A = this chain, B = another copy of it.
Amino acid sequence: MKKKITLKQIARELDVSISTVSKSLRDSSEIGEETRLKVQAFAKFYNYKPNNIALSLKNRKSKAIGIIIPEIVHHFFSTVINGIEQVANEHGYSVIICLSDDSFDKEVLNMEMLANGSIDGFIMSLSKETQFKADFHHITEVINQGMPVVMFDRVTNEILCDKVIIDDKSAAYEAVQSLIDNGKKKIALVTTVDYVSVGKLRTDGYIKALLDNGIPFDENLIIKIENVDTCEIIISKLLQDKAIDAVFAVNELFAVTCIKTANKMGLRVPEDLSIIAFTDGIISKYSTPTITTVSQNGIKMGNKAAKMLIDRLESENEEEENYITEVIETHLIERESTN
């Protein structure tokens, strides 16, 4: 018996990308004819079997949900998974998790693997690379084969499916407004390089809050950190040069680094510098001082995503395609880093 060949092996053998193989097999006009035919011939010769999910779905339910997330050492994603598990288990579903490691190729391969009969539907958050490439064909393919997908947090408008998000712009707006309400006027935004959609939305919320309160927007106060290792140096420069009185950080790692750097420079938190972080994780609860955060409510997001997927899996009406985008409310958890 000839061994079953995979998408990845075809890509390696022909020295093309996984995405090219996948598109060629669907006869996509995005791929040049020569490559397309070569891939198809190769796949045929090695008896490549694409997933025939649509055919098998009617007869066979795995009663399992597949989750694809970018990374696991991340409190927010862990809490979303716990939220998904709760609802899934209540409804008799098992949960299988795969990590994309923020890599497009791993996201494609993991989806291909799980779609192969192991699961009934996906809950996923896009990898950074997928958002950067804006290539979503692997998701379209799964949906076209009749397998429902629910996206959360890192989503895209390019795909029609159910989504669960938080309103990142409003959440950032409220956090910055609360700093302004406490008399802060020179507020820095410490953020990542924003090829992830949520980063852009948080920046928009920050700017809008400033302008709505008549505070001029100074783009030198937006600090973009590419690499966590350089975080301390960049923040110490910010605190030295800019005489700021508050920081809004897009994650708690940046926030705790601000606190430590401020302490070293003799600044007191919150007396001299107020700090709010996005994401309510374990660092915020246990740092000294504890950190005021915008809670993304990962458990609730996971609950909701699982509910939406299971509703779709168990719905009788398969024609219906009224996809819903649920917006989960955030709230500010006030702790010691603000006054």
Contact = CB atoms under 8 A, between A and B. Distances in A.
Interface of A: 1, 3-4, 6, 8, 59-64, 72-73, 75, 78-79, 81-82, 85, 89, 92, 94-99, 101, 106, 109-110, 113-114, 118, 253, 256, 259-260, 263, 282-283, 286-288
Contacts of A286: 253, 256, 260, 283, 286-287
A200 to B, nearest CB: 26
B97 A97 contact: yes
Contacts of A78: 72-73, 78
Given A82-B73, A287-B288, A59 B94 contact: no
Given A73-B75, A78-B72, A1 B59 contact: yes
A293 B39 CA distance: 53
Nearest to A74: B78
Contacts of A64: 113
B99 A81 contact: yes
Contacts of A97: 72, 96-99
5 contacts: A94-B113, A96-B96, A96-B97, A260-B288, A287-B288
Nearest to A263: B288
A24 to B, nearest CB: 21
B282 A8 contact: no
A85 B106 CA distance: 11
Contacts of A75: 73
Given A73-B75, A96-B96, 9 more contacts: A3-B61, A4-B60, A72-B72, A72-B82, A73-B78, A95-B98, A96-B113, A256-B286, A286-B286
Contacts of A113: 62, 64, 94, 96
A99 B72 contact: no
A109 B85 contact: no
Contact of A79 (B4, B61, B73): B73
Q: In the A-B complex, list the 5 residue pairs whose CB atoms are closest, starting with the nearest.
A: A288-B288, A97-B97, A73-B78, A256-B286, A72-B78
A98 B98 contact: no
A99 B73 contact: no
A98 B75 CA distance: 17
Nearest to A81: B72
Contacts of A59: 1
Nearest to A75: B73
A103 to B, nearest CB: 9
Nearest to A98: B96
A96 B94 CA distance: 13
A272 to B, nearest CB: 16
Contacts of A6: 63
A313 to B, nearest CB: 14
- Which residue, of A64, A253, A283, A288, has the highest number of chain B Cβ atoms within 10 A? A288
Contacts of A89: 106
Contacts of A85: 99, 101
Contact of A8 (B73, B79, B92, B288): B92
